[in-house]
């Protein structure tokens, strides 16, 4: 039976062997939720950057640019990091390519480069991701983007929710990280959104009046897309 493990922070990645495994990169608030939403809305592909200047420069090649720093849209780009940027029609996105940079999410994608496949996960596409992982049948590591290297509740909660969906097909009992995330997911029931109100990132987003984003990012199975990061692009 393939194994299921969770890396609570990108800083812990040196302790994991990604080769031979599938990495599911997750940044529930909000990078991977926005990427999943963007591709579900007809964005052709996205190129993640670590540096703001590299992201901005892609405008010259016809890309839309999306950038967040400290929870706010960066200067001089088309979109921030809210999933609603891809839904509200203010910037038409269908058929466009997007260059994106965020504080933690795009960094976690790049740091997972050694994995056999890098899947972009969110509550919004959790069922589709689970089906995809069952088909691949390989060992899985959920890579939590966290916040500036720290553990965060919402990404860990996603790890627990995904493990709960895969318990029949994967070994979810050999890793203490997975066991802890499964317990956290149980503790968060019956209302994971209410549970997450106490998380530091939700407090940060509330401060930025992004409560609507938080509620949206916690919806499960909204989209069937399974974005994969390969050869520099997510599609
Ligand atoms: O750090 C990130 O990658 C972002 O998702 C953070 S925020 O939700 O836009 O504040």
SS (H, E, C) the chain: CCEEEEECCHHHHHHCCCCCEEEEEECCCCHHHHHHHHHHCCCCCEEECCCHHHHHHHHHHCCEEEEEECCEECCCCCECCCHHHHCCCCCCCCCCCEEEECCCHHHHHHHCCCCCEEEEECHHHHHHHHHHHHHHCCEEEEEECCECCECCHHHHHHHHHHHHHHCCCCECCCCHHHHHHHHHHHHCCCCHHHHHCCCHHHHHHHHCCCHHHHHHHCCCCCCCCCCEEECCEEC
Indicate whether 112 pLDDT > 60.
yes
pLDDT value of position 210? 66
pLDDT value of position 196? 85
Q: Is 85 in the pocket of ligand 1 (CB under 6 A)?
A: no
Q: How far is the CA of 208 from the centre of ligand 1 (A)?
A: 12
Domain ranges (residues) in the chain: 4-230
Out of 3.40.50.1110, 3.90.1560.10, 3.40.50.80, 3.30.2010.10, which CATH number does the structure's domain 4-230 have? Answer: 3.90.1560.10
Indicate whether 40 pLDDT > 90.
yes
User: What's the ipTM?
Assistant: 0.91
Q: How far is the CA of 183 from the centre of ligand 1 (A)?
A: 25
Indicate whether 30 pLDDT > 80.
yes
In the structure, what pLDDT confidence band is assigned to residue 208 with cuts at 50, 70 and 90?
low
């Amino acid at each position: 039976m393939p194994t299921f493990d969770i890396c609570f922070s990108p800083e812990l990645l040196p302790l994991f062997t990604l080769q031979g495994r599938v990495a599911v990169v997750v940044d529930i608030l909000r990078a991977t939720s926005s990427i999943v939403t963007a591709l579900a809305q007809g964005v052709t592909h996205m190129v993640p950057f670590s540096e703001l200047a590299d992201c901005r420069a892609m405008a010259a090649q016809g890309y839309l640019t999306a950038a967040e720093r400290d929870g706010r849209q960066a200067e001089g780009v088309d979109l921030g990091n809210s999933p609603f940027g891809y839904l509200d029609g203010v910037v038409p996105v269908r058929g466009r390519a997007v260059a994106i940079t965020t504080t933690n999410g795009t960094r976690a994608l790049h740091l997972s480069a050694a994995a056999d496949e890098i899947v972009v996960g969110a509550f919004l596409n959790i069922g589709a991701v689970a089906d995809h992982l069952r088909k691949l049948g390989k060992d899985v590591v959920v890579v939590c983007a966290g916040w500036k290297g720290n553990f965060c509740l919402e990404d860990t909660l996603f790890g627990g929710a995904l493990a709960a969906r895969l318990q029949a097909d994967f070994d979810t009992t050999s890793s203490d990280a997975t066991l802890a995330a499964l317990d956290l997911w149980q503790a968060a029931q019956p209302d994971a959104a209410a549970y997450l109100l106490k998380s530091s990132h939700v407090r940060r987003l509330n401060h930025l009046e992004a409560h609507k984003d938080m509620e949206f990012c916690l919806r499960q199975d909204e989209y069937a897309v399974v974005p994969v990061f390969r050869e520099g692009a997510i599609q």
